[in-house]
A and B are shown apart, each in its own frame.
Chain A
Amino acid sequence: MIPPAPSTPTSHAVFRFRAAPLRHAAILAIGFIVVRVLYRILFHGVDGSGTVLVDLPVVRLPAPFAHVTMLGPITSGGLWNSVESALPIAAVIFAFGAINACIDLSKLFARGARGGPLRGAARTLVIAWATVPALGDAVRQVALARKLRGSRGAAALLVPLLERTVERAVAIAAAMEVRGFGAQRSVDAGRATPIEFRHVVLAYGACADAADADPGAPVEGWTLAVEEFVVPAGSLVLVSGPTGSGKSTMLHALSGLHTHFDDGELHGFARVGGVDRRTVPPRETAGFIGVVLQNPRIGFASETVADEIGFAPTARGVVASIVAARVAEAAARVGVTALLDRDIRALSAGEATLVAIAAALVERPRILLVDEPLADLDREARLRIRTLLDSLAHEHGVCVVVAEHRVGELAAVADARFDLGDGRVVRVAPGAGAAPAGEEDASSHDRGPAATGASTGEARSGGEARLEARGIHVVLGGRVAVDEASLDLCAGEIVALAGPNGAGKSTLLLALALPKAAGAVRVNGIDVARLRRRARRAAVALVPEASDDLLCATSTEEECRRADREAGAPGGTTRARFLAFLGAGDGTSTAARLLASHPRDLSTGERRCLAIAIQLAADASVLLIDEPTRGLDARARSLVAAALRTAAGEGRAVAIATHDHAFASELAERTIEMRDGRLGAGALRTAVRS
């Protein structure tokens, strides 16, 4: 894991001095003069007064360049003339350097984005400026995925990178849209019920432009029926349901993104604050609806926390002093005042969610829509957000709607709950079918080893050892990430590596799949470090946490073919494995739909299974998976669990690194705790036997 960036307060000064641009310009100006002199020597341009330094013969070129003469004598006067005539332009180049050295253009972008005739262009450049540093990380992760897949082409690097870019762009755009960016007018809420949806059907219709449509996109024909969804002021309502059931779509229908941004359809009676949601776009209701989108971090559109929180009033053209007061108020309400000067990229996941909530509250909205606020947060942060949402609804009278599949965490403070499933929205009791707070949260990583001690156990003595790792030691940035780890994995078993963030699980898996560090990794008795690309893939396969980075084709079918080709496997291997994982018989309509889909249009669970199938193309003896259940709901988890059992059942050794204790204890035969780079008990087969 990468430690968070240091939190440096960001300066707003436009004028500053840096010597580098001046040096750069000086080199360019001198280079300009030198090149000019060289051209003139080559083309008879230094033949002037003064002494003749070198007397080269004049060469005349044939037609059509008959008028051109080359070389000729070089005289001191001619040389001086060449230099002198170049000086004015060289001076211009140097002057540009001087301006560059004194003005920080990136700060001008931020100023321009606050208003004025060029605010569109300036905002574009602010987004670009904030995206550049993130690209470095993205490139590293995508390059790693490419290496793990064994691909070499540029496509395997460029396509996932562009997919990430587009994903980020859409997230930023949605976040800007719901905060009033580009609004021509602002609509006020009436005194009506904040949210009133009756007999509403949400759908994704056929695309109007058939030529550009992706065939087989699963959203086609998707509908969600909302019989009655009415939320009064001062209440907190929970929208629950598995991933893919439409929680986000439901929230987007309320915010207006569904109809005005995602090209979705909405039929029926749909009013928010008395405004017809079908006709009024999100940007015009930004004054009374605050929205926190899923994974808010990728949608940040500013450089500093203060600018991000103040985005909505700034976009509305409010004067800077009032914006600053509003920002201070919203930050205080959420408790992020200390973060205001921070660089937006230096926030932890929990801080980012709080900042996003503050940014949604800055216009003092009557309605607050929050999508999955608890994802990837530790217990303390989750508790803080629960308290905040509770107080907003029940003390400040805001109408709060939260989409969250961790029902148990919020049931106690919720007034009502709407559950999504089978294309319908049904009102249920807030706590129905959910474990009490804390217990149900399977992916919590703050439970100690004691909780899982029971499942920490012996290596299965039956299977033969597939992987034997000894003394793996990895140092990252001066810190010991993996400390002398030794591990056995046996044929047919599934092993879970558990432990908190930063314990070194991902690093260990990587060291097993691509051994570079100190220590030895043997698969079936052969040293993996000595294997070439293909042989290595046949020995050990790793599915990285960002498993989508493995995908680079335009259809699942093509993706499978590509995987076969790269692994040197017989045609149809990956396709058959993928379909088997999903229980879709070849030739069925389900299989046809899956294969024709764009890989990124598959559901999260299907995509993870595809990534596993791709990595198994070379029939590796050892399968390693980093966080197999990240972002998955119960149904998708069982899909992945079945795929892992199948993989192990074929005689492979399977190891997963996971926070998800429930998943680990359900699936794994032994769980090894990892802490501060050290492996806990049960890692070695011999230790069990003795």
Chain B
Amino acid sequence: MKWSPRVQTPLVWGGHLLAATAFAWPLFAPAVPTEAQGAVPFVALALAPLAAVTLVFVLDGSVRSAKVLALLGTLTAVGAAVRVVGTGVGGIEAVFVLLILAGRAYGARFGFLLGVFVILLSSTLQGGFGPWTPFQMFACGWVGAGAGLLPRLRGPRAKLAEIAMLAGYGVLASYAFGLVMNFWYWPFAVGTGAGISYEPGATLGENLGSFLLYSLITSTASWDTLRAITTVIGLAVAGPAVLAALRRAKLPRDALR
């Protein structure tokens, strides 16, 4: 199905918004009547896959160009293999290098779909599907999409500046990835009534304080930092040459924008 942009654009943004709502569900929970509180977490868990299916459904028409599709497919294979091989050593780290470079070379939409497909394929390979899978898809997709939205650089040292910019983005994305993944999972991981639990009645400041503490001990100080470091090193070492390799396969100008 080929969607007209007037229909597709609002649907795409709607999908992203739906996903963002699922990620931020602890913020919305207090607004729900007390009797329905118990259902909120499960609604959030259902929203994420719904958003993922909606987006893939709407974007599917964009991957009808053979070149886009083949590049997306082979790069998905590389990303999934990297992720499967890296499972023992912290998982998702090296994938970020690929997502950021591919997003940069081929644009936000390509980067988003690559993130989604890498998670889908690696989960299929490992049999590792779970309630977290759609959330991982979005978080990874957004990392790739963000790289595609960075500004274009000009000037005498544009190539160096580009890598520096991508490395800076890589650090930001690494921590942001950890934070959003922790945010939706936090109430599940801790449950209610503990010191860092989510409290529907507490102030936003207190809840955020609890969350940050949870996030710090869960991943920010460990995995996220490791991921930031490996991403920067990866981009610095292989970034220019990989970007050149990707850009040598020119996509049709209107293929995926």
Decide if B130 is an interface residue (CB 8 Å cutoff).
Answer: yes
Q: A153-B237, A169-B249 are in contact. Are A68 and B196 (CB under 8 A)?
A: yes
Interface residues on B, range: 35 or more
Are A40 and B190 closer than 8 Å at their CB atoms? yes
Inter-chain contacts of A166 with B (CB < 8 A): 71, 74, 245-246, 248-249
Residues on A lying within 8 angstroms of B by beta carbon are: 18, 20-21, 24-25, 28, 32, 35-36, 39-40, 42-46, 61, 64-65, 67-70, 72, 82, 85-86, 89, 92-93, 96-97, 99-101, 105-106, 117-121, 123-129, 131-132, 135-136, 153-155, 158-159, 161-163, 165-166, 168-174, 176-177, 181-182, 208-209, 211-212, 214, 261, 263, 283, 301, 552-554, 598, 600
The distance in angstroms between the C-alpha atoms of A47 and B202, with both chains bound, is 20
Main SS class of interface, B: helix
- Contact for A131 among B73, B126, B205, B214, CB less than 8 A: B73
A-B contact count (CB 8 A): 232
Residues of A near B195 (CB, < 8 A) are: 42-45, 68-70, 72
Closest 5 CB pairs of A and B: A45-B194, A127-B73, A21-B127, A43-B195, A131-B77
Q: What B residues does A82 contact at CB under 8 A?
A: 191
B73 A43 Cβ-Cβ under 8 A: no
B78 at interface by CB-CB < 8 Å: yes
Name the CB-closest residue of A to B239: A155
Also in contact, A182 and B249, with CB within 8 A (given A35-B189, A89-B188, A155-B237): no
Enumerate chain B residues within 8 angstroms of A35, measured Cβ to Cβ: 189
Smallest CB gap from A122: residue in B: B60
- Apart from the given pairs A89-B188, A182-B65, 6 other A-B contacts in the complex at a CB distance below 8 Å: A97-B129, A120-B61, A153-B237, A161-B78, A172-B66, A181-B66
B241 contacts the other chain (CB 8 A) = yes
**How far apart are the CA atoms of A537 and B57 in the complex, in Å?**
54
Let me know if A125 and B127 touch, CB within 8 A.
no
23 A-B residue pairings within 8 Å (CB atoms): A25-B130, A40-B190, A64-B209, A69-B195, A93-B131, A118-B56, A119-B60, A124-B63, A124-B72, A125-B73, A125-B117, A132-B121, A135-B77, A154-B233, A159-B245, A161-B78, A163-B245, A166-B246, A169-B75, A176-B69, A211-B154, A212-B247, A600-B248
Q: Which of B193, B195, B250 has the most CB of A within 10 A?
A: B195
Closest to B133 in A: A96
- Minimum distance in angstroms from B12 CB to a CB of chain A: 14
Per-residue A-contact encoding for B193-236, CB less than 8 Å = 1, 0 else: 11111000010011001100110000000000000000001100
* Cβ-neighbour of B238 out of A43, A92, A159, A181 (below 8 A): A159
What's the nearest-Cβ distance from chain B to residue A303, in Å? 12
B248/A598 in contact, CB under 8 A? yes
Residues from chain A with Cβ under 8 Å of B246 in the complex: 162, 166
User: What separation, in Å, do the CA atoms of A92 and B41 have in the docked complex?
Assistant: 12
Closest to A182 in B: B64
Q: Separation in Å of the A496 CB from the closest CB of chain B?
A: 34
Q: When chains A and B are docked, how far (Å) is the Cα of A657 from the Cα of B57?
A: 52
Query: Which residues of the other chain, A, contact B214 by a CB distance below 8 angstroms?
Result: 39
Residues from chain A with a CB closer than 8 A to the CB of B167 are: none
B29 to chain A, nearest CB (A): 16
Which residue of the partner chain, among A24, A132, A170, contacts B81 with CB atoms under 8 Å? A132
Q: Which residues of A contact B191 (CB under 8 A)?
A: 36, 40, 45, 82, 85-86
CB 8 Å contact bits of B180-192 with A (1 = contact, 0 = none)? 0000000011111
A268 to B222, CA, bound (A): 64
Decide yes or no: A301 and B78 within 8 Å by CB, A155-B238, A155-B241, A554-B240 being known contacts: no
A85, A92, A158, A168: the one within 8 Å of B45 (CB)? A92
Taken together as a complex, chains A and B put the C-alpha atoms of A106 and B244 apart, in Å, by: 32
B193 touches A182 (CB 8 A): no
| Interface: B43 (CB within 8 A) | no
Report the Cα distance A154→B192, complex, angstroms: 45
Asked if A165 contacts B121 (CB within 8 A), the reply is no
**Shortest distance between the CB of A294 and any CB in chain B (Å):** 16
Nearest B residue (CB) for A109:
B124
Q: Does B89 contact A (CB under 8 A)?
A: no
B window 57-100: CB within 8 A of A: 57, 59-67, 69-78, 80-81
**A39 near B127 (CB under 8 angstroms)?**
no
Q: Which residue of B lies closest to A127 (CB)?
A: B73
| Interface check B128, CB cutoff 8 A | yes
Contacts of B56 in A (CB 8 A): 118, 121
Chain A residues closer than 8 Å to B76, beta-carbon distance: 124-125, 127-128
State A68–B56 Cα separation when bound (angstroms).
41
Q: How far apart are the CA atoms of A132 and B73 in the complex, in Å?
A: 10
Complex contacts, A169 vs chain B, CB 8 Å: 67, 70-71, 73-75, 249
Contact present for A552 and B70 (CB under 8 Å) = no
Residue from A20, A21, A132, A301 within 8 A of B77 (CB atoms) = A132
* CB-defined contacts of B131 to chain A, threshold 8 Å: 89, 92-93, 96
Specify which of A39, A168, A263 is in contact with B250 (CB 8 Å cutoff): A263
Interface of A is mostly: helix
With A100-B127, A163-B245 as known contacts, state yes or no: A212 contacts B250, CB within 8 Å. yes
Tell me the smallest distance from the CB of A77 to a CB of chain B, in Å: 12
Q: Which residue of A lies closest to B218 (CB)?
A: A39
* B31 contacts partner chain A, Cβ-Cβ < 8 Å: no
Most chain B CB neighbours (cut-off 10 Å) among A18, A82, A125: A125
A93 touches B245 (CB 8 A): no
Interface string of B125-162 (1 = CB under 8 A from A): 11111110100000000000000000000100000000
| Residues on the B chain within 8 Å of A177, using CB | 66-67
- With both chains docked as a complex, state the minimum distance between the C-beta of B205 and any C-beta of chain A, in angstroms: 7
Q: Contact at A121–B194, with CB atoms within 8 Å?
A: no
Q: Give chain B nearest CB distance to A312 CB in angstroms.
A: 13
Expressed in whole angstroms, the minimum distance between the Cβ of A559 and any Cβ of chain B is 10
Given A24-B127, A598-B248: A123 touches B69 (CB 8 Å cut-off): yes
Contact of A128 with B202 in the complex, beta carbons under 8 Å: no
CA–CA, A119 and B62, complex, Å: 11
Contact yes or no, A124 B189, CB < 8 A:
no
Q: Could you say which of B128, B214, B245, B253 has the most chain A C-beta atoms within 10 Å of its C-beta?
A: B245
Residues on A with beta carbons closer than 8 Å to the beta carbon of B63: 120-121, 123-124
Q: Which residue of A lies closest to B68 (CB)?
A: A173
B67 in complex: contacting residue of A72, A99, A136, A173, CB < 8 Å: A173
Complex Cα gap A589–B172 (Å): 45
B56 → chain A, closest Cβ, in Å? 5
Contacts of A93 in B (CB 8 A): 130-131
Q: A24-B128, A121-B56 are in contact. Are A176 and B197 (CB under 8 A)?
A: no
Q: How far is the CB of B237 from chain A (nearest CB, A)?
A: 5
Instruction: Flag if A154 contacts B237 (CB, 8 Å).
Output: yes
Q: For residue B65, which residue of chain A has the nearest CB?
A: A182
Give the one of A67, A97, A129, A209 with max B CB within 10 A.
A67
Complex Cα gap A100–B129 (Å): 7
Chain B residues contacting A69 (CB-CB under 8 Å) are 195
Residues of A within 8 Å of B210, CB to CB, are: 65, 67-68
> Once bound together, how far apart are the Cα atoms of A210 and B72, in whole Å?
25
Kindly state whether residue B20 has any CB partner on chain A within 8 Å: no
Q: Which residue of B lies closest to A83 (CB)?
A: B191
B41, B70, B205, B242: which contacts A176 (Cβ < 8 A)?
B70
CA distance A136 to B80 in the complex (A): 12
Q: Evaluate contact between B238 and A172: CB separation under 8 angstroms.
A: no
Most buried by A among B61, B193, B194: B194
**A146→B121 CA distance, assembly (Å):** 28
From A42, A165, A174, A181, B74 is in contact (CB under 8 Å) with: A165
CA distance A544 to B38 in the complex (A): 63
User: Does B24 touch A at the CB level, under 8 Å?
Assistant: no
Partner of A128, one of B61, B74, B247: B74
CB-defined contacts of A261 to chain B, threshold 8 Å: 66-67
Tell whether B1 is near chain A: CB-to-CB under 8 Å.
yes
Q: Does B120 make an interface contact (CB < 8 A)?
A: yes
